Amino acid sequence: MDGVKERPILFSGPMVRALLDGSNRKGEQDMTELEINRKLAIAIGWREDQMWENRDYPGTLYIQYDRLLMGGRAFSFESWLVAGPIAEKFDCFPNKAQSAKHIGEWYAPVGDIANGVYADTPQRAIALAVIGARHDI
């Protein structure tokens, strides 16, 4: 990112609307994995009526993939089987942050290289970048 000013948009404009759920949350740090999974699933095209939380595994989001058989599968942004294809589709491949302010964090661009999000894992950075890019959810 030489010569490009990193400007995270975690707490401004559309990103805030995407990351906040209408309560008194301060931002993505307060979101649970289940909330991030739900917002990410919506951002990539799944509907609310296709999602449920398994009572046997609290906090796990399931996506219905077969209406006829009522089949479903676990959906987690923490899995590379989920995060990898999403990063490819939305062109938001994470990089290890280079600035002293974000040591140990990962940066995923949203749209162009000047906008993006920081997170503690590359998978979370991808998820939040896609959620942020889809500010209409």
For 80-90, what is each residue's pLDDT tens digit?
999 999 999 98
> Hey, what domains does the chain have and what are their CATH numbers?
7-20+32-133 (3.30.2120)
Query: What pTM, to 2 d.p., does this model score?
Result: 0.72
For 36-81, what is each residue's pLDDT tens digit?
999 999 999 999 989 988 788 878 899 987 766 667 888 999 999 9
For 55-66, what is each residue's pLDDT tens digit?
888 788 999 877
Sign of CA dihedral 136, 129, 32, 20: negative
Of the pLDDT bands very low, low, confident and very high (cuts 50, 70, 90), residue 20 is very low
β-bridge partners, 112: 110
* CA–CA dist 50, 121 (Å, integer): 27
